[in-house]
Chain A
Protein backbone atom coordinates (compact mmCIF):
# COMPACT_ATOMS: atom_id res chain seq x y z
CA UNK A 1 0.00 0.00 0.00
CA UNK A 2 2.77 2.42 0.91
CA UNK A 3 4.49 1.84 -2.40
CA UNK A 4 1.34 2.55 -4.31
CA UNK A 5 0.81 5.81 -2.41
CA UNK A 6 4.42 6.91 -3.06
CA UNK A 7 4.01 6.13 -6.71
CA UNK A 8 0.87 8.28 -6.86
CA UNK A 9 2.59 11.16 -5.07
CA UNK A 10 5.51 11.04 -7.56
CA UNK A 11 2.96 11.01 -10.37
CA UNK A 12 1.26 14.08 -8.84
CA UNK A 13 4.62 15.92 -8.60
CA UNK A 14 5.34 15.38 -12.29
CA UNK A 15 1.84 16.45 -13.28
CA UNK A 16 2.00 19.56 -11.07
CA UNK A 17 5.34 20.68 -12.50
CA UNK A 18 4.03 20.30 -16.01
CA UNK A 19 0.77 22.11 -15.27
CA UNK A 20 2.30 24.96 -13.25
CA UNK A 21 4.80 25.58 -16.06
CA UNK A 22 1.92 26.09 -18.45
CA UNK A 23 0.18 28.78 -16.39
CA UNK A 24 -0.40 31.80 -18.66
CA UNK A 25 -3.22 33.70 -16.95
CA UNK A 26 -4.85 34.43 -13.63
CA UNK A 27 -7.54 31.98 -14.57
CA UNK A 28 -5.03 29.17 -15.17
CA UNK A 29 -3.48 30.07 -11.85
CA UNK A 30 -6.78 29.95 -9.96
CA UNK A 31 -7.64 26.60 -11.51
CA UNK A 32 -4.39 24.92 -10.65
CA UNK A 33 -4.38 26.40 -7.15
CA UNK A 34 -7.91 25.04 -6.60
CA UNK A 35 -7.00 21.64 -8.04
CA UNK A 36 -4.05 21.08 -5.69
CA UNK A 37 -4.80 23.08 -2.55
CA UNK A 38 -8.59 23.20 -2.15
CA UNK A 39 -9.41 22.17 1.44
CA UNK A 40 -12.25 19.95 0.39
CA UNK A 41 -11.36 18.49 -2.97
CA UNK A 42 -7.72 19.38 -3.43
CA UNK A 43 -5.16 16.76 -4.36
CA UNK A 44 -3.05 17.58 -1.30
CA UNK A 45 -6.09 17.16 0.99
CA UNK A 46 -6.81 13.81 -0.70
CA UNK A 47 -3.31 12.52 0.11
CA UNK A 48 -3.47 13.80 3.70
CA UNK A 49 -6.76 11.98 4.25
CA UNK A 50 -5.28 8.74 2.91
CA UNK A 51 -2.44 8.98 5.45
CA UNK A 52 -4.94 7.80 8.12
CA UNK A 53 -5.13 4.40 6.41
CA UNK A 54 -1.39 3.89 6.27
CA UNK A 55 -0.10 1.29 8.77
CA UNK A 56 1.80 2.91 11.66
CA UNK A 57 5.32 1.68 10.75
CA UNK A 58 5.02 3.30 7.26
CA UNK A 59 3.43 6.54 8.49
CA UNK A 60 6.65 8.64 8.79
CA UNK A 61 7.76 7.73 5.26
CA UNK A 62 4.35 8.45 3.79
CA UNK A 63 3.94 11.71 5.74
CA UNK A 64 7.32 12.87 4.55
CA UNK A 65 6.41 12.18 0.92
CA UNK A 66 3.14 14.16 1.18
CA UNK A 67 4.97 17.04 2.86
CA UNK A 68 7.51 17.17 0.01
CA UNK A 69 4.67 17.48 -2.44
CA UNK A 70 3.13 20.23 -0.37
CA UNK A 71 6.38 22.27 -0.37
CA UNK A 72 6.77 21.71 -4.09
CA UNK A 73 3.21 22.93 -4.76
CA UNK A 74 3.58 26.00 -2.57
CA UNK A 75 6.90 27.00 -4.15
CA UNK A 76 5.62 26.33 -7.65
CA UNK A 77 2.50 28.41 -7.10
CA UNK A 78 4.50 31.33 -5.66
CA UNK A 79 6.82 31.33 -8.66
CA UNK A 80 3.90 31.19 -11.06
CA UNK A 81 2.25 34.11 -9.34
CA UNK A 82 5.42 36.21 -9.52
CA UNK A 83 5.77 35.30 -13.17
CA UNK A 84 2.23 36.45 -13.85
CA UNK A 85 2.83 39.78 -12.07
CA UNK A 86 5.99 40.41 -14.10
CA UNK A 87 4.17 39.49 -17.27
CA UNK A 88 1.43 41.93 -16.43
CA UNK A 89 3.96 44.74 -15.82
CA UNK A 90 5.64 44.09 -19.13
CA UNK A 91 2.40 44.15 -21.02
CA UNK A 92 1.28 47.44 -19.48
CA UNK A 93 4.53 49.52 -20.07
CA UNK A 94 5.44 50.28 -23.67
CA UNK A 95 9.19 49.87 -24.15
CA UNK A 96 10.77 50.76 -27.47
CA UNK A 97 14.53 51.09 -27.15
CA UNK A 98 14.68 52.51 -30.66
CA UNK A 99 12.91 55.73 -29.61
CA UNK A 100 15.10 58.82 -30.24
CA UNK A 101 17.41 59.96 -27.42
CA UNK A 102 16.74 63.27 -25.74
CA UNK A 103 18.83 66.23 -26.87
CA UNK A 104 21.49 66.46 -24.23
CA UNK A 105 23.27 69.81 -24.51
CA UNK A 106 26.90 69.56 -25.62
CA UNK A 107 29.25 72.55 -25.63
CA UNK A 108 32.51 72.99 -27.47
CA UNK A 109 35.79 74.79 -27.08
CA UNK A 110 36.43 77.61 -29.57
CA UNK A 111 38.25 76.56 -32.74
CA UNK A 112 41.15 78.87 -31.90
CA UNK A 113 41.51 77.38 -28.41
CA UNK A 114 41.54 73.90 -29.86
CA UNK A 115 44.21 74.71 -32.46
CA UNK A 116 46.25 76.63 -29.93
CA UNK A 117 46.14 73.76 -27.45
CA UNK A 118 47.25 71.31 -30.11
CA UNK A 119 50.21 73.47 -31.09
CA UNK A 120 51.13 74.06 -27.44
CA UNK A 121 50.89 70.37 -26.62
CA UNK A 122 53.33 69.50 -29.40
CA UNK A 123 55.91 72.01 -28.20
CA UNK A 124 55.40 71.07 -24.54
CA UNK A 125 56.09 67.46 -25.51
CA UNK A 126 59.36 68.72 -27.01
CA UNK A 127 60.31 70.34 -23.71
CA UNK A 128 59.21 73.94 -24.27
CA UNK A 129 57.87 76.06 -21.44
CA UNK A 130 54.76 78.18 -21.98
CA UNK A 131 55.44 81.86 -21.20
CA UNK A 132 52.92 84.70 -20.92
CA UNK A 133 53.12 88.45 -21.07
CA UNK A 134 51.17 91.65 -21.37
CA UNK A 135 48.74 92.49 -24.15
CA UNK A 136 49.33 96.20 -23.50
CA UNK A 137 53.09 96.39 -23.97
CA UNK A 138 55.89 98.88 -23.88
CA UNK A 139 56.68 100.18 -27.35
CA UNK A 140 60.30 99.50 -26.47
CA UNK A 141 59.75 95.76 -25.97
CA UNK A 142 57.40 95.42 -28.92
CA UNK A 143 59.72 97.18 -31.38
CA UNK A 144 62.97 98.82 -30.32
CA UNK A 145 64.47 95.93 -28.32
CA UNK A 146 63.45 93.63 -31.16
CA UNK A 147 65.66 95.64 -33.53
CA UNK A 148 62.89 97.61 -35.22
CA UNK A 149 64.63 100.99 -35.50
CA UNK A 150 62.50 104.01 -34.70
CA UNK A 151 61.26 105.65 -37.91
CA UNK A 152 62.02 102.53 -39.92
CA UNK A 153 59.49 101.29 -42.48
CA UNK A 154 59.69 97.80 -40.95
CA UNK A 155 57.28 99.17 -38.32
CA UNK A 156 54.73 99.78 -41.09
CA UNK A 157 54.42 96.02 -41.63
CA UNK A 158 52.69 95.86 -38.26
CA UNK A 159 50.11 98.62 -38.09
CA UNK A 160 49.87 99.45 -34.44
CA UNK A 161 47.21 100.51 -31.95
CA UNK A 162 48.48 103.12 -29.52
CA UNK A 163 47.14 103.95 -26.06
CA UNK A 164 45.72 107.34 -25.22
CA UNK A 165 47.62 109.20 -22.50
CA UNK A 166 50.29 106.48 -22.33
CA UNK A 167 52.71 107.31 -25.17
CA UNK A 168 55.17 104.55 -24.24
CA UNK A 169 52.54 101.82 -24.56
CA UNK A 170 50.79 100.03 -27.42
CA UNK A 171 48.79 96.86 -28.03
CA UNK A 172 51.39 94.22 -28.77
CA UNK A 173 51.58 93.44 -32.48
CA UNK A 174 53.17 90.04 -31.84
CA UNK A 175 53.98 87.91 -28.81
CA UNK A 176 57.72 88.50 -29.27
CA UNK A 177 57.84 90.94 -26.29
CA UNK A 178 57.12 87.90 -24.12
CA UNK A 179 60.42 86.48 -25.38
CA UNK A 180 62.19 89.76 -24.59
CA UNK A 181 60.88 89.76 -21.03
CA UNK A 182 61.78 86.10 -20.64
CA UNK A 183 65.32 86.57 -21.97
CA UNK A 184 65.86 89.53 -19.65
CA UNK A 185 64.86 87.40 -16.66
CA UNK A 186 66.40 84.01 -17.45
CA UNK A 187 69.78 82.73 -18.50
CA UNK A 188 70.21 80.29 -21.40
CA UNK A 189 69.57 77.53 -22.16
CA UNK A 190 66.01 78.65 -22.69
CA UNK A 191 63.25 77.08 -24.62
CA UNK A 192 59.82 78.70 -24.60
CA UNK A 193 56.67 79.25 -26.56
CA UNK A 194 54.56 82.36 -26.14
CA UNK A 195 50.97 81.93 -27.27
CA UNK A 196 48.40 84.70 -27.07
CA UNK A 197 46.33 87.51 -28.47
CA UNK A 198 47.94 90.16 -30.64
CA UNK A 199 46.59 93.31 -32.27
CA UNK A 200 47.12 95.06 -35.59
CA UNK A 201 45.22 98.01 -36.88
CA UNK A 202 43.40 96.31 -39.75
CA UNK A 203 39.73 96.65 -40.55
CA UNK A 204 38.08 93.25 -40.27
CA UNK A 205 37.61 91.47 -43.60
CA UNK A 206 37.80 87.91 -44.89
CA UNK A 207 41.54 87.64 -44.24
CA UNK A 208 42.22 90.37 -41.66
CA UNK A 209 41.28 90.90 -38.06
CA UNK A 210 42.38 93.66 -35.68
CA UNK A 211 42.67 90.95 -33.02
CA UNK A 212 44.28 87.61 -33.72
CA UNK A 213 46.35 84.91 -32.05
CA UNK A 214 49.93 83.76 -32.39
CA UNK A 215 52.10 81.00 -31.09
CA UNK A 216 55.73 82.05 -31.10
CA UNK A 217 58.72 80.03 -30.01
CA UNK A 218 62.30 80.72 -28.95
CA UNK A 219 65.30 78.55 -28.23
CA UNK A 220 68.64 80.01 -27.08
CA UNK A 221 71.69 77.93 -26.21
CA UNK A 222 75.30 77.41 -27.22
CA UNK A 223 75.97 76.14 -30.76
CA UNK A 224 72.43 76.56 -32.06
CA UNK A 225 72.39 76.82 -35.85
CA UNK A 226 69.98 77.26 -38.72
CA UNK A 227 69.55 73.51 -39.34
CA UNK A 228 68.26 73.16 -35.76
CA UNK A 229 65.50 75.58 -36.68
CA UNK A 230 64.52 73.57 -39.72
CA UNK A 231 64.63 70.27 -37.83
CA UNK A 232 62.51 71.61 -34.97
CA UNK A 233 59.87 73.09 -37.22
CA UNK A 234 59.76 69.91 -39.27
CA UNK A 235 59.05 67.93 -36.12
CA UNK A 236 56.25 70.35 -35.34
CA UNK A 237 54.55 70.36 -38.71
CA UNK A 238 54.72 66.58 -39.05
CA UNK A 239 53.15 66.23 -35.60
CA UNK A 240 50.52 68.83 -36.43
CA UNK A 241 49.65 67.98 -40.03
CA UNK A 242 50.92 64.42 -40.50
CA UNK A 243 54.16 62.61 -41.14
CA UNK A 244 53.81 62.83 -44.90
CA UNK A 245 53.97 66.64 -44.85
CA UNK A 246 57.24 68.28 -45.91
CA UNK A 247 58.67 71.70 -45.19
CA UNK A 248 60.70 74.15 -47.21
CA UNK A 249 62.38 77.38 -46.23
CA UNK A 250 62.37 80.57 -48.27
CA UNK A 251 64.42 83.70 -47.57
CA UNK A 252 62.47 86.49 -45.92
CA UNK A 253 62.97 89.42 -43.59
CA UNK A 254 62.15 90.14 -39.97
CA UNK A 255 64.08 92.79 -38.04
CA UNK A 256 64.61 90.43 -35.09
CA UNK A 257 66.05 87.47 -37.00
CA UNK A 258 69.07 87.04 -39.26
CA UNK A 259 68.95 84.95 -41.40
CA UNK A 260 65.18 85.05 -41.70
CA UNK A 261 62.88 82.62 -43.47
CA UNK A 262 59.33 81.77 -44.31
CA UNK A 263 58.40 78.14 -43.83
CA UNK A 264 56.10 76.58 -46.41
CA UNK A 265 54.56 73.15 -45.99
CA UNK A 266 53.55 70.80 -48.77
CA UNK A 267 49.82 71.12 -49.44
CA UNK A 268 47.92 68.75 -47.14
CA UNK A 269 44.88 69.07 -49.34
CA UNK A 270 46.16 68.14 -52.80
CA UNK A 271 49.83 67.26 -52.21
CA UNK A 272 50.66 69.45 -55.20
CA UNK A 273 48.51 67.37 -57.52
CA UNK A 274 45.61 69.74 -58.12
CA UNK A 275 46.42 72.87 -60.15
CA UNK A 276 43.06 74.33 -59.07
CA UNK A 277 43.54 73.56 -55.34
CA UNK A 278 42.00 76.34 -53.26
CA UNK A 279 44.28 75.77 -50.30
CA UNK A 280 47.67 76.05 -52.06
CA UNK A 281 46.37 77.86 -55.17
CA UNK A 282 47.96 75.15 -57.27
CA UNK A 283 51.51 75.81 -56.08
CA UNK A 284 51.71 72.70 -53.90
CA UNK A 285 53.03 74.81 -51.00
CA UNK A 286 51.35 76.72 -48.19
CA UNK A 287 52.99 79.57 -46.32
CA UNK A 288 52.61 78.74 -42.67
CA UNK A 289 55.06 80.60 -40.46
CA UNK A 290 57.96 83.05 -40.21
CA UNK A 291 61.21 82.17 -38.51
CA UNK A 292 64.92 82.77 -38.30
CA UNK A 293 68.04 82.90 -36.18
CA UNK A 294 67.66 85.42 -33.36
CA UNK A 295 69.34 88.67 -34.41
CA UNK A 296 72.55 89.28 -32.41
CA UNK A 297 71.29 92.75 -31.49
CA UNK A 298 68.16 91.25 -29.92
CA UNK A 299 70.32 88.89 -27.83
CA UNK A 300 72.64 91.67 -26.68
CA UNK A 301 69.66 93.93 -25.96
CA UNK A 302 68.59 91.22 -23.51
CA UNK A 303 72.08 90.89 -21.98
CA UNK A 304 72.82 87.60 -23.72
CA UNK A 305 76.24 87.52 -25.38
CA UNK A 306 75.75 86.71 -29.08
CA UNK A 307 79.37 85.57 -29.34
CA UNK A 308 78.62 82.75 -26.88
CA UNK A 309 74.95 82.01 -27.49
CA UNK A 310 72.79 81.72 -30.55
CA UNK A 311 69.18 80.83 -30.98
CA UNK A 312 66.20 80.59 -33.25
CA UNK A 313 62.69 82.00 -33.12
CA UNK A 314 59.51 81.30 -35.02
CA UNK A 315 55.94 82.51 -35.04
CA UNK A 316 52.66 81.48 -36.59
CA UNK A 317 49.15 82.88 -36.74
CA UNK A 318 46.58 80.52 -35.27
CA UNK A 319 43.72 81.97 -37.31
CA UNK A 320 45.59 81.28 -40.54
CA UNK A 321 46.38 77.70 -39.52
CA UNK A 322 42.74 77.13 -38.55
CA UNK A 323 41.44 78.66 -41.77
CA UNK A 324 43.71 76.50 -43.90
CA UNK A 325 43.04 73.33 -41.96
CA UNK A 326 39.26 73.62 -42.07
CA UNK A 327 38.93 75.71 -45.24
CA UNK A 328 37.19 78.49 -43.33
CA UNK A 329 36.59 81.19 -45.91
CA UNK A 330 36.18 84.25 -43.68
CA UNK A 331 38.25 85.16 -40.63
CA UNK A 332 35.39 87.20 -39.15
CA UNK A 333 33.49 83.97 -38.46
CA UNK A 334 36.01 83.23 -35.70
CA UNK A 335 34.93 86.35 -33.81
CA UNK A 336 31.19 86.45 -34.62
CA UNK A 337 30.61 83.56 -32.21
CA UNK A 338 27.63 82.38 -34.20
CA UNK A 339 27.09 78.99 -32.57
CA UNK A 340 26.39 77.43 -35.95
CA UNK A 341 30.13 77.99 -36.51
CA UNK A 342 31.37 77.39 -32.97
CA UNK A 343 29.52 74.06 -32.69
CA UNK A 344 31.59 72.53 -35.47
CA UNK A 345 34.96 72.44 -33.74
CA UNK A 346 36.72 72.00 -30.44
Chain B
Protein backbone atom coordinates (compact mmCIF):
# COMPACT_ATOMS: atom_id res chain seq x y z
CA UNK B 1 0.00 0.00 0.00
CA UNK B 2 2.63 2.48 1.08
CA UNK B 3 4.65 1.37 -1.88
CA UNK B 4 1.94 2.19 -4.37
CA UNK B 5 1.50 5.63 -2.86
CA UNK B 6 5.16 6.47 -2.92
CA UNK B 7 5.23 5.44 -6.56
CA UNK B 8 2.54 7.88 -7.61
CA UNK B 9 3.96 10.61 -5.46
CA UNK B 10 7.42 9.87 -6.79
CA UNK B 11 6.15 10.57 -10.29
CA UNK B 12 5.18 14.06 -9.20
CA UNK B 13 8.42 14.72 -7.47
CA UNK B 14 10.44 13.45 -10.41
CA UNK B 15 12.38 11.38 -7.90
CA UNK B 16 15.24 9.59 -9.59
CA UNK B 17 16.95 8.59 -6.37
CA UNK B 18 16.66 4.93 -5.66
CA UNK B 19 15.34 2.83 -2.82
CA UNK B 20 14.69 4.33 0.55
CA UNK B 21 15.46 7.89 -0.40
CA UNK B 22 12.97 7.87 -3.19
CA UNK B 23 10.30 6.59 -0.91
CA UNK B 24 11.04 9.16 1.72
CA UNK B 25 11.06 11.95 -0.78
CA UNK B 26 7.89 10.64 -2.34
CA UNK B 27 6.18 10.50 1.01
CA UNK B 28 6.78 14.14 1.78
CA UNK B 29 5.70 15.20 -1.64
CA UNK B 30 2.51 13.28 -1.26
CA UNK B 31 2.03 14.61 2.22
CA UNK B 32 2.34 18.18 0.96
CA UNK B 33 -0.17 17.49 -1.75
CA UNK B 34 -2.71 16.15 0.72
CA UNK B 35 -2.32 19.15 2.99
CA UNK B 36 -2.61 21.45 -0.03
CA UNK B 37 -5.91 19.74 -0.81
CA UNK B 38 -7.07 20.37 2.76
CA UNK B 39 -6.17 24.02 2.36
CA UNK B 40 -7.95 24.14 -1.00
CA UNK B 41 -11.09 22.81 0.62
CA UNK B 42 -10.76 25.35 3.40
CA UNK B 43 -10.69 28.08 0.74
CA UNK B 44 -13.85 26.60 -0.76
CA UNK B 45 -15.47 26.86 2.66
CA UNK B 46 -14.51 30.53 2.84
CA UNK B 47 -16.24 31.15 -0.50
CA UNK B 48 -19.24 29.29 0.89
CA UNK B 49 -19.19 31.65 3.88
CA UNK B 50 -19.51 34.52 1.41
CA UNK B 51 -22.32 32.76 -0.48
CA UNK B 52 -24.30 32.30 2.72
CA UNK B 53 -23.39 35.85 3.74
CA UNK B 54 -25.14 37.26 0.67
CA UNK B 55 -28.19 35.07 1.31
CA UNK B 56 -28.34 36.15 4.95
CA UNK B 57 -27.98 39.80 3.95
CA UNK B 58 -30.85 39.41 1.47
CA UNK B 59 -32.99 37.68 4.07
CA UNK B 60 -32.37 40.28 6.76
CA UNK B 61 -33.12 43.15 4.38
CA UNK B 62 -36.39 41.54 3.24
CA UNK B 63 -37.51 40.22 6.62
CA UNK B 64 -40.57 42.49 6.90
CA UNK B 65 -41.62 42.31 3.23
CA UNK B 66 -44.38 39.73 3.49
CA UNK B 67 -46.63 41.58 1.00
CA UNK B 68 -49.74 41.22 3.22
CA UNK B 69 -49.36 37.44 2.94
CA UNK B 70 -48.52 34.94 5.66
CA UNK B 71 -45.88 36.04 8.17
CA UNK B 72 -43.22 33.80 9.71
CA UNK B 73 -44.71 34.34 13.17
CA UNK B 74 -47.94 32.69 12.00
CA UNK B 75 -46.48 29.73 10.16
CA UNK B 76 -43.20 28.70 11.76
CA UNK B 77 -43.50 25.83 14.19
CA UNK B 78 -40.50 25.97 16.44
CA UNK B 79 -40.79 22.43 17.83
CA UNK B 80 -39.70 20.68 14.64
CA UNK B 81 -36.92 23.22 14.20
CA UNK B 82 -35.63 22.61 17.70
CA UNK B 83 -35.51 18.88 17.03
CA UNK B 84 -33.63 19.34 13.75
CA UNK B 85 -31.21 21.75 15.43
CA UNK B 86 -30.27 19.16 18.03
CA UNK B 87 -30.06 16.46 15.37
CA UNK B 88 -27.56 18.53 13.39
CA UNK B 89 -25.58 19.46 16.51
CA UNK B 90 -25.31 15.79 17.40
CA UNK B 91 -24.28 14.85 13.87
CA UNK B 92 -21.49 17.43 14.01
CA UNK B 93 -20.29 15.69 17.17
CA UNK B 94 -20.56 12.18 15.68
CA UNK B 95 -18.58 13.23 12.59
CA UNK B 96 -15.87 14.35 15.02
CA UNK B 97 -15.93 10.93 16.66
CA UNK B 98 -15.55 9.38 13.22
CA UNK B 99 -12.31 11.34 12.79
CA UNK B 100 -11.13 10.16 16.22
CA UNK B 101 -11.79 6.55 15.25
CA UNK B 102 -9.88 7.15 12.03
CA UNK B 103 -6.87 8.54 13.88
CA UNK B 104 -7.00 5.43 16.03
CA UNK B 105 -6.92 3.34 12.86
CA UNK B 106 -10.30 1.74 13.54
CA UNK B 107 -11.90 1.33 10.13
CA UNK B 108 -15.11 -0.28 11.36
CA UNK B 109 -15.62 2.41 13.97
CA UNK B 110 -14.95 5.09 11.40
CA UNK B 111 -17.53 3.74 8.97
CA UNK B 112 -20.03 3.18 11.79
CA UNK B 113 -19.79 6.76 13.06
CA UNK B 114 -19.94 8.12 9.53
CA UNK B 115 -23.09 6.06 9.01
CA UNK B 116 -24.61 7.48 12.21
CA UNK B 117 -23.71 10.98 11.05
CA UNK B 118 -25.32 10.33 7.66
CA UNK B 119 -28.47 8.95 9.29
CA UNK B 120 -28.77 12.04 11.49
CA UNK B 121 -28.22 14.20 8.41
CA UNK B 122 -30.90 12.29 6.54
CA UNK B 123 -33.41 12.79 9.35
CA UNK B 124 -32.56 16.49 9.36
CA UNK B 125 -33.35 16.65 5.64
CA UNK B 126 -36.52 14.63 6.20
CA UNK B 127 -37.72 17.13 8.81
CA UNK B 128 -36.84 20.04 6.55
CA UNK B 129 -38.77 18.61 3.61
CA UNK B 130 -41.76 18.00 5.90
CA UNK B 131 -41.54 21.60 7.09
CA UNK B 132 -41.39 22.96 3.54
CA UNK B 133 -44.42 20.88 2.51
CA UNK B 134 -46.29 22.17 5.55
CA UNK B 135 -45.40 25.78 4.68
CA UNK B 136 -46.53 25.39 1.07
CA UNK B 137 -49.84 23.90 2.23
CA UNK B 138 -50.29 26.88 4.51
CA UNK B 139 -49.92 29.17 1.51
CA UNK B 140 -46.26 30.22 1.72
CA UNK B 141 -44.27 29.13 -1.31
CA UNK B 142 -41.16 30.63 -2.85
CA UNK B 143 -43.21 33.10 -4.92
CA UNK B 144 -45.58 34.28 -2.19
CA UNK B 145 -43.61 37.31 -1.09
CA UNK B 146 -40.09 38.69 -0.91
CA UNK B 147 -39.83 37.31 2.62
CA UNK B 148 -40.66 33.75 1.59
CA UNK B 149 -38.43 33.94 -1.49
CA UNK B 150 -35.51 34.88 0.73
CA UNK B 151 -36.54 32.27 3.30
CA UNK B 152 -36.72 29.34 0.90
CA UNK B 153 -33.52 30.37 -0.89
CA UNK B 154 -31.52 30.63 2.32
CA UNK B 155 -32.89 27.57 4.13
CA UNK B 156 -33.03 25.58 0.88
CA UNK B 157 -29.41 26.34 0.01
CA UNK B 158 -28.36 25.03 3.40
CA UNK B 159 -30.53 21.93 2.93
CA UNK B 160 -28.99 21.38 -0.48
CA UNK B 161 -25.52 21.53 1.06
CA UNK B 162 -26.51 18.90 3.63
CA UNK B 163 -27.99 16.69 0.89
CA UNK B 164 -24.81 16.91 -1.18
CA UNK B 165 -22.85 16.07 1.97
CA UNK B 166 -25.01 12.97 2.47
CA UNK B 167 -24.34 11.61 -1.03
CA UNK B 168 -20.67 12.37 -0.58
CA UNK B 169 -20.57 10.65 2.81
CA UNK B 170 -22.19 7.47 1.48
CA UNK B 171 -19.70 7.39 -1.41
CA UNK B 172 -16.85 7.85 1.05
CA UNK B 173 -18.11 5.02 3.24
CA UNK B 174 -18.11 2.73 0.20
CA UNK B 175 -14.58 3.80 -0.66
CA UNK B 176 -13.41 3.30 2.91
CA UNK B 177 -14.84 -0.21 3.03
CA UNK B 178 -12.90 -1.05 -0.15
CA UNK B 179 -9.62 0.77 0.36
CA UNK B 180 -9.40 1.09 4.11
CA UNK B 181 -7.70 3.98 5.89
CA UNK B 182 -5.00 5.36 3.60
CA UNK B 183 -3.48 8.85 3.51
CA UNK B 184 -5.89 9.68 0.69
CA UNK B 185 -9.06 8.43 2.38
CA UNK B 186 -7.83 10.03 5.60
CA UNK B 187 -7.71 13.39 3.91
CA UNK B 188 -11.16 12.81 2.45
CA UNK B 189 -12.66 11.99 5.85
CA UNK B 190 -11.00 15.04 7.39
CA UNK B 191 -12.43 17.21 4.63
CA UNK B 192 -15.97 15.90 4.93
CA UNK B 193 -16.00 16.32 8.69
CA UNK B 194 -14.78 19.88 8.22
CA UNK B 195 -17.63 20.41 5.76
CA UNK B 196 -20.10 18.93 8.21
CA UNK B 197 -18.98 21.17 11.09
CA UNK B 198 -19.25 24.12 8.72
CA UNK B 199 -22.84 23.21 7.82
CA UNK B 200 -23.65 23.03 11.51
CA UNK B 201 -22.27 26.54 12.00
CA UNK B 202 -24.38 27.84 9.12
CA UNK B 203 -27.45 26.14 10.58
CA UNK B 204 -26.88 27.82 13.96
CA UNK B 205 -27.17 31.18 12.22
CA UNK B 206 -30.20 30.04 10.21
CA UNK B 207 -31.78 28.86 13.45
CA UNK B 208 -31.02 32.13 15.24
CA UNK B 209 -31.74 34.67 12.51
CA UNK B 210 -34.52 32.97 10.55
CA UNK B 211 -36.38 30.94 13.15
CA UNK B 212 -35.78 32.42 16.60
CA UNK B 213 -36.03 36.00 15.36
CA UNK B 214 -38.95 34.99 13.12
CA UNK B 215 -41.08 33.92 16.06
CA UNK B 216 -40.06 36.74 18.42
| A, B assembled together | no
Please give the residue numbers on chain A whose beta carbons come within 8 Å of chain B beta carbons, in ascending order.
none
B residues touching A (Cβ–Cβ < 8 Å)?
Answer: none
